[in-house]
């Protein structure tokens, strides 16, 4: 049974109204004052759990803010919603589906029922098949059609079937099999495929066609092109079985494409695309880092799941982070959140989070279909540090927008080189300190600055941030981090009373493009507005 949707609107909740009043007092309170008034603030507003240290003391909050935010979570029924998700209730009401990415990392002996059937044995069955296959490819036992060893693996997929695998491969490259090449093709722009294959030999190349539906235009087009590219050299249809495997929920379409369903790795409709990197969609990740490391990744996810499920809200990392996001989005009017990992391996982490957060919480009606009268999911963006410091940090420090930041750092580098790591980490700490405390006119003047220059060199400060500090970027740590954001997104969605698990905006794009293709090819004439019609006819003329 899906959870009952609440009849009381968010803005009528006691805690919400108390937060509105509380915000009036808080909006002008400076972090300088909060720190000066409490020498232990750094410890008081930090939390360590399962190897992640979250310092959230540089947020514009007091004990009272926290108390009210937690009350808001309670009045919103967060506890019941968490239980409901983990239990397998059909909380994705618009698609009538359970939301069970947490079952993908549940231990073998767990029991999670969907429509009266325990799904955990199937999850482990697929994982075992993936492991056996990954081992064969990694060891060279799985050979291409001409008997050559597979050296290149190309994942073809888009959105949730691409962003997770790309991010995880980059993040865990340190643990990857270095004599193999891993590439990712997502865009329907032919350049993506052309560049990914330009220097590869089809005899040594394995394509993983990753598509939950196996009908997505971009992926099917790229898969078809991959087939032609491979067969051009390999010559024989039978080669497909050696060079193509599929990850999908749609066996019928997979075999229609010509892939033997024996080489198909399944998952289920209760796994959303953006929550699928730890399902069979992670096959490329598993081939890259090996089944043992993949297991560690899953264990990390699971540890965070347990923490989210069991820890009291005031000690619960995803709950705290989710509530802080609500605090800034709805009371301070912050429109974005910057995610700033100080680790080069996490260079695709912000892009991954963009989908996770924005596809999930980019909604403007509640579960019961009413238009919201408050802000929902903010815009997530970011770049790895320190590169961002030499570009957009200027706006975060001195611009007119309030941009809460998440800094992410690790104590131990994976590539220790001289003093690089200390330099890197010195920047994390210096940035969050400067954002919080700024520089007063008095401080600027003391640096012998002429009066006219003072306002330009003043930093207001009072710019909030979280700092996440972990020991080392391991597969386990990555699993924890991803699950942390997954559950933070869930927390926000519950407060906002929205469905974080559908994506009608994505579905719209899939239909619209299909309608126009036949017009571009001159096979049909459609009815459009004057702008779209002119663009279509111009395009047709220009392309000849």
Which residues are bridge partners to 185 per DSSP? 156
Among 266, 272, 282, 385, binds ligand G6Q (CB under 6 A): 272
Q: How far apart are CA 184 and CA 226, in angstroms?
A: 12
Nearest to 496 by CA among 381, 366, 389: 366
Q: Which stretch binds ligand G6Q (CB under 6 A): 166-174, 188-196, 210-218, 374-382?
A: 210-218
Among 77, 88, 144, 159, binds ligand G6Q (CB under 6 A): 159
CB-based contacts of 93: which residues, under 8 Å, 6+ apart? 2, 5, 367, 499
CB-based contacts of 73: which residues, under 8 Å, 6+ apart? 79, 313, 319, 323, 491, 494, 495
Report if residue 503 touches ligand G6Q, rule: CB under 6 A. yes
Report if residue 359 touches ligand G6Q, rule: CB under 6 A. yes
Q: Which stretch binds ligand G6Q (CB under 6 A): 2-10, 27-35, 156-164, 376-384?
A: 156-164
Handedness of CA 43, 46, 50, 51 (dihedral sign): negative
Sequence-ordered alpha helix ranges (H) in 343-499:
349-354, 360-361, 393-398, 420-437, 441-446, 454-457, 475-496
CA distance to 308, 432, 454, per residue, from 65 (Å): 21, 21, 34
Q: Which stretch binds ligand G6Q (CB under 6 A): 148-156, 226-234, 272-280, 525-533?
A: 272-280
Residue nearest ligand G6Q, CB atom distance = 159
Among 73, 137, 158, 208, binds ligand G6Q (CB under 6 A): 158
- Within positions 505 to 524, which residues make up the interface with ligand G6Q, using CB under 6 A? 506
Q: Which residue, chain included where needed, has tokens 């008034």?
A: 37
Nearest to 493 by CA among 35, 10, 105: 10
Beta-carbon neighbour count of residue 486 at 10 Å? 26
Structure tokens at 307: 């923490």
CA angle 297, 302, 308 (to 5 degrees): 130
CA angle 509, 101, 121 (to 5 degrees): 125
Smallest distance, Å, CB 3 to ligand G6Q? 21
Q: State which residue, 106 or 156, has the beta carbon closest to ligand G6Q.
A: 156
Report if residue 357 touches ligand G6Q, rule: CB under 6 A. no
**Site string (106-145) toward ligand G6Q, x via CB under 6 A:** ----------------------------------------
Among 57, 76, 161, 497, binds ligand G6Q (CB under 6 A): 161
Q: 519: helix, coil or strand?
A: helix
Smallest distance, Å, CB 281 to ligand G6Q? 8
Report if residue 55 touches ligand G6Q, rule: CB under 6 A. no
Report if residue 475 touches ligand G6Q, rule: CB under 6 A. no
Report if residue 486 touches ligand G6Q, rule: CB under 6 A. no
Q: Which stretch binds ligand G6Q (CB under 6 A): 13-21, 208-216, 292-300, 413-421?
A: 208-216
Q: State which residue, 176 or 354, has the beta carbon closest to ligand G6Q.
A: 354
Residues near ligand G6Q (CB under 6 A), total: 15
Q: How far apart are CA 90 and CA 115, in angstroms?
A: 10
Query: Any catalytic annotation for residue 390?
Result: yes
CB distance 219 to 211 below 8 Å: yes
Give me the catalytic one of 124, 148, 510, 528: 510
DSSP state of 201: -
Smallest distance, Å, CB 218 to ligand G6Q? 8
Query: Any catalytic annotation for residue 510?
Result: yes
Report if residue 219 touches ligand G6Q, rule: CB under 6 A. yes
Structure tokens at 412: 């131990």
CA angle 429, 432, 437 (to 5 degrees): 115
Structure tokens at 421: 């790591």
Q: 341: helix, coil or strand?
A: strand
Handedness of CA 194, 186, 172, 229 (dihedral sign): negative
Q: State which residue, 272 or 350, has the beta carbon closest to ligand G6Q.
A: 272
Q: State which residue, 54 or 489, has the beta carbon closest to ligand G6Q.
A: 489
Q: State which residue, 102 or 219, has the beta carbon closest to ligand G6Q.
A: 219
Report if residue 454 touches ligand G6Q, rule: CB under 6 A. no
Report if residue 160 touches ligand G6Q, rule: CB under 6 A. yes
Report if residue 341 touches ligand G6Q, rule: CB under 6 A. no
Report if residue 213 touches ligand G6Q, rule: CB under 6 A. yes
Q: State which residue, 173 or 510, has the beta carbon closest to ligand G6Q.
A: 510
Q: Taking every pair of C-alpha atoms in the chain, what is the biggest distance, in angstroms?
A: 78
Smallest distance, Å, CB 388 to ligand G6Q? 25
Q: Which residue, chain included where needed, has tokens 């006819």?
A: 537
Structure tokens at 281: 């969609």
CB distance 377 to 360 below 8 Å: yes
Smallest distance, Å, CB 282 to ligand G6Q? 13
The per-residue b/e assignment along 511-526, b for 16 or more CB within 10 angstroms, e otherwise, is: eeeeebeebeeeeeee
Among 58, 81, 138, 274, binds ligand G6Q (CB under 6 A): 274
Smallest distance, Å, CB 257 to ligand G6Q? 13
Q: Which stretch binds ligand G6Q (CB under 6 A): 66-74, 212-220, 374-382, 449-457?
A: 212-220
Give me the catalytic one of 203, 204, 303, 359: 359
Give me the catalytic one of 28, 108, 390, 527: 390
Report if residue 493 touches ligand G6Q, rule: CB under 6 A. no
Q: 497: helix, coil or strand?
A: coil
Q: Which stretch binds ligand G6Q (CB under 6 A): 74-82, 225-233, 269-277, 361-369?
A: 269-277
Report if residue 273 touches ligand G6Q, rule: CB under 6 A. yes
Q: How far apart are CA 154 and CA 226, in angstroms?
A: 10
Enumerate the active-site residues.
Answer: 359, 390, 510
Residue ranges in contact with ligand G6Q by CB under 6 A = 158-161, 211-213, 216, 219, 272-274, 359, 503, 506
């Amino acid at each position: 049974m899906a959870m009952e949707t609440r009849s009381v609107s968010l803005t009528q909740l006691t805690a919400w109204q108390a937060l509105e009043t509380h915000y009036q007092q808080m909006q002008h309170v400076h972090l300088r004052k909060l720190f000066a008034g409490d020498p232990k603030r750094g410890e008081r507003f930090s939390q360590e759990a399962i190897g992640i240290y979250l310092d959230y003391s540089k947020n514009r909050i007091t004990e009272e803010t926290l108390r009210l935010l937690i009350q808001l979570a309670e009045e919103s029924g967060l506890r019941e919603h968490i239980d409901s998700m983990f239990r397998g209730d059909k909380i994705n009401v618009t698609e009538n589906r359970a939301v069970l990415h947490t079952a993908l990392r549940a231990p073998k002996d767990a029991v999670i029922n969907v429509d009266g059937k325990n799904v955990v044995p199937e999850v482990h069955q697929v994982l075992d098949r993936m492991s056996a296959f990954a081992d064969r490819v990694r060891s060279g036992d799985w050979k291409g059609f001409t008997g050559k060893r597979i050296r290149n693996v190309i994942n073809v997929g888009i959105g949730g079937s691409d962003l997770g695998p790309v991010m995880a491969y980059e993040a865990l490259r340190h643990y990857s099999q270095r004599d193999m090449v891993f590439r990712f093709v997502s865009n329907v722009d032919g350049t993506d495929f052309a560049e990914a294959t330009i220097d590869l030999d089809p005899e040594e190349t394995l394509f993983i066609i990753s598509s939950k539906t196996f009908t997505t235009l971009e992926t099917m087009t790229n898969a078809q092109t991959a087939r032609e590219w491979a067969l051009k050299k390999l010559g024989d249809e039978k080669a497909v079985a050696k060079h193509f495997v599929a990850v999908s929920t749609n066996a019928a379409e997979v075999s229609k494409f010509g892939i033997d369903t024996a080489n198909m790795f399944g998952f289920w409709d209760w796994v959303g695309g953006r929550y699928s990197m730890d399902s069979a969609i992670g096959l490329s990740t598993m081939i890259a880092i090996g089944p043992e490391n993949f297991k560690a990744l899953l264990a990390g996810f699971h540890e965070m799941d347990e923490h989210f499920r069991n820890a009291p809200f005031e000690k619960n990392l995803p709950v705290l982070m989710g509530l802080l996001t609500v605090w800034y989005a709805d009371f301070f009017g912050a429109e974005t959140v910057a995610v700033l990992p100080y680790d080069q391996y996490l260079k695709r982490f912000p892009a991954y989070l963009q989908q996770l957060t924005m596809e999930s919480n980019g909604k403007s009606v509640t579960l019961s279909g009413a238009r919201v009268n408050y802000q929902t999911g903010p815009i997530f963006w970011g770049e790895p540090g320190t590169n961002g410091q030499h570009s957009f940090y200027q706006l975060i420090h001195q611009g007119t927008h309030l941009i809460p930041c998440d800094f992410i750092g690790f104590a131990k580098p994976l590539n220790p080189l001289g003093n690089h790591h200390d330099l890197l980490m010195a920047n994390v700490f210096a940035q969050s300190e400067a954002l919080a405390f700024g520089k007063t006119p008095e401080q600027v003047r003391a640096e012998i600055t002429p009066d006219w220059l003072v306002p330009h060199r003043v930093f207001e400060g009072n710019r909030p941030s979280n700092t996440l500090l972990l020991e080392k970027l391991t597969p386990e740590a990555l699993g924890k981090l991803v699950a942390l954001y997954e559950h933070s997104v869930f927390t926000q969605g519950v407060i906002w009373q929205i469905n974080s698990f559908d994506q009608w905006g994505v579905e719209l794009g899939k239909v619209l493009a299909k309608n126009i293709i036949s017009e571009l090819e001159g096979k049909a004439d459609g009815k459009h507005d004057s702008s779209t019609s002119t663009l279509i006819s111009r395009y047709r003329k220009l392309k000849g």
